[in-house]
Structure 1
């Protein structure tokens, strides 16, 4: 309790990445840089929800743990690109809720996974979060546009 290591404080994507040199504000700046302007504004307005979603936090925690396993020598560093792509895809799926996009996310993250380094982890997570956010909101905004258009034409 004295160190602030409570479940409420620690259940955060940004907090999980702090020990890798990524501050919470930096994470959301990195996510915003990867989004179209309108979605970047929406992400900034909803950063708390994106940061605290339990499934997303779980996916980020799993990737952080695997990163630790590599640093401890329990897994060979040569498997990092595969781990990064696959678990990065799970982060994007957690945000978007679109399991059918797994292969696409893996393919798109292949160029981001890079070599095993602590600094690459935050970049990978920000990219995966942004990809999931785009897919979630593009689909949602299209549905809303259809509702508004349909509602507007019925009058």
Structure 2
């Protein structure tokens, strides 16, 4: 029974990536995306990121097969401001894709909770957090780091 729950949870989470990409493709054309969604920041505190395990998650992404998933999110050795802006844009797209996926899968989990199938709903949410929420939080952390680099590049241009 547990293997069925886990299989479904992983499957629906992978499907949610496609749903997230499709919905996000539509949202990117709106003003709401540019003004609100592209600047989300749920966990600004570095200590809290560490407590919830974003560092461990980052290590897993960098050192396992997950590193091959989104090749657009790589930083080259030589950095230009334009490259940083493109990278930040790709990170935002990935972040929002995963957030949409998280909401999509959460609906399934809530339906299981509503039907008093708590173990199934809990299993779905654990997998959902690992496959959708954590990647989104990692992108937010990376975007904050990219923003610092962009600001540093702009400041260096002003004073050069």
TM-score, with length taken from structure 1: 0.33
Between 1 and 2, higher relative CO (CA 8 Å, sep ≥ 6) is seen in 2
